[in-house]
């Protein structure tokens, strides 16, 4: 029999280990241990951090992962080693072939997505205050780089500044009005759901509500409050079968609590306080923004969007297409097509917005053959 080695995804990284000096200065533990109890190790580290006023650093990785070992070697360089020793309690978490500690990774914002190594920074209270994952690790090539990234992660007064593209989004003020859209939902060809989006305009705030259901089952109820002048999100409440979330946005940071199921055990509760671009909007803002764009064919907008599933901010691209004819159950109408792409879990999406005023959402196509469509 020919042996087959399973190939699993790893984040592409450029970690140049230029020196092994100082490897003996700090004992950061052995390799990722498959039989370790990650949850218990995290709790022990948090108790120690509360006693000595340090932070906890979670390192998700695997022994087969070369970039994980390269990053670990950088931890042992003199500058990084002294900084880690003074600042953190380090917990290595073995993900195996992405078949171990998946519940722990999910608790901390799908930590191993899109790959490993992945570093999560916790305050001694257990609050998530920083991520160093994916592209942020790509340029790491020295212990100084490690210190720079982790120092930024523990700076709870900072925002990300202009690390993400600032949104080039122009909304049509005439479309910021009290309104409601009700769309029918088809999934894999079967009808039986509704998606209701309501907007209420007050004297100093704007409130959006999303209620979605499938047959008689409520899937989501979300409420977002926006500042009436800037239209930036201020507060979000959301309840789905995957999470219950409360978020606040202020001063370039997003703070909140997420409760998610962890069967057969009790639900996982995670608090977080994360730096983000001051222009960031919430994932639930997409149905608010898209129909209210100043629709100019051929224009592209890039928006930083915070995702409570991953506890990270992602750039999302909105491209406005030409005016087109759209067939609906009630007839054919003129509409604009807006393509929404990015690395959020429920993207890509294609939206169709009425060309005539007042503007309405007519159709939205989501992954997994899901279609939201107006019956009017």
pLDDT tens-digit profile of 181-227? 999 999 888 889 999 999 999 999 999 999 999 988 999 999 999 99
Q: What is the pLDDT of residue 2?
A: 33
Q: How far is CA 260 from CA 47, 64, 185, 366, in A?
A: 23, 30, 25, 23
Position 20 pLDDT exceeds 50:
no
Residue 11 · residue 114 · CB < 8 Å: yes
Closest CA to 281 of 332, 344, 195: 344
Residues forming a β-bridge with 253: 250, 275
Do strands 300-307 and 312-328 pair parallel, antiparallel, or not at all (unpaired)? antiparallel
> What is residue 330's predicted lDDT score, i.e. its pLDDT?
83
Residue 105: pLDDT band by 50, 70, 90 thresholds?
very high
**Helix or strand or coil: residue 233?**
strand
**CA-closest candidate to residue 66, choices 100, 101, 31:** 31
Compute the mean pLDDT over every residue in the chain, rounded to the nearest whole number: 85
Of 275, 238, 277, which Cα lies nearest the Cα of 257? 238
Contact 290, 351 (CB under 8 A): yes
H-assigned helices in the chain: 38-52, 66-75, 78-87, 102-107, 143-154, 286-289
* Residue 357 pLDDT exceeds 90: no
- With 80 as the cut, is the pLDDT of residue 4 above it? no
List, for residues 226-265, the tens digit of each pLDDT value: 998 888 899 999 999 888 999 999 988 999 999 998 888 8
Q: pLDDT band for position 146 (50/70/90)? A: very high
Q: What is the mean pLDDT of residues 355-370?
A: 90
Q: Which of 30, 281, 55, 19 is nearest to 143 (CA)?
A: 19
- Answer whether residue 171 shows pLDDT above 90: no
R_g (Cα) of the chain, nearest Å: 23
Q: What is the pLDDT of residue 10?
A: 33
Q: Could you please report the per-residue DSSP string of 74-106? A: HHTSHHHHHHHHHHEEEEEEE-TTTTSSHHHHH
pLDDT for res 21: 26
Q: Which residues pair with 59 in a beta bridge?
A: 92, 119
**Rounded mean pLDDT of 336-365?**
92
CB 207 within 8 A of CB 237: no
Residue that wins the pLDDT comparison between 139 and 15: 139
**Angle between the N-to-C axes of helices 78-87 and 66-75, in degrees from 0 to 180, rounded to the nearest 10:** 80
């Amino acid at each position: 029999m020919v042996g087959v080695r399973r190939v699993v995804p790893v984040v592409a990284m450029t970690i140049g280990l230029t020196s092994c000096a100082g490897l003996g200065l700090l004992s950061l533990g052995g390799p990722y241990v498959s039989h370790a109890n990650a949850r218990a190790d995290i709790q022990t580290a948090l108790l120690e951090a509360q006693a000595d006023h340090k932070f906890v650093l979670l390192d998700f990785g695997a022994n087969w992962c070369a970039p994980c070992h390269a990053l670990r070697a950088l931890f042992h360089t003199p500058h990084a080693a002294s900084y880690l020793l003074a600042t953190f309690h380090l917990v290595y978490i073995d993900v195996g072939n992405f078949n171990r500690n998946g519940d722990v990774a999910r608790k901390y914002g799908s930590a191993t997505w899109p790959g490993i190594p992945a570093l999560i920074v916790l305050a001694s209270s257990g609050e998530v205050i920083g991520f160093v994952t994916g592209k942020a690790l790509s340029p790491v090539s020295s212990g100084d780089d490690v210190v720079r990234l982790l120092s930024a992660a523990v700076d709870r007064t900072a925002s990300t500044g202009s690390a993400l593209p600032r949104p080039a989004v122009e909304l049509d003020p005439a479309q910021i009005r009290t309104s409601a859209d009700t769309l029918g939902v088809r999934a894999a060809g079967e009808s039986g759901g509704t998606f209701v989006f309501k907007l209420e305009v007050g004297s100093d705030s704007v409130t959006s509500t999303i209620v979605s259901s499938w047959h008689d089952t409520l899937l989501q109820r979300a409420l977002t409050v926006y500042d009436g002048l800037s239209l930036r999100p201020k507060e979000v409440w959301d309840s789905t079968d995957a999470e219950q979330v409360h978020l606040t946005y202020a001063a370039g940071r997003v703070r909140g609590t997420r409760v998610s199921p962890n069967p057969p055990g009790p639900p996982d509760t995670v608090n977080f306080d994360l730096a983000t671009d001051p222009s960031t909007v919430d994932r639930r803002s997409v149905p608010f923004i898209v129909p209210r764009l100043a629709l100019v064919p051929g224009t592209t907008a890039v928006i930083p969007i915070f995702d409570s599933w991953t506890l990270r901010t992602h750039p999302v691209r909105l491209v406005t297409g030409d005016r087109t004819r759209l067939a609906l159950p009630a007839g054919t109408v003129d509409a604009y097509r807006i393509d929404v792409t990015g690395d959020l879990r429920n993207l890509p999406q294609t939206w169709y917005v009425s060309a005539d005023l007042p503007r309405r959402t007519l159709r939205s196509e989501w992954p997994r053959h899901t279609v939201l469509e107006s019956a009017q």
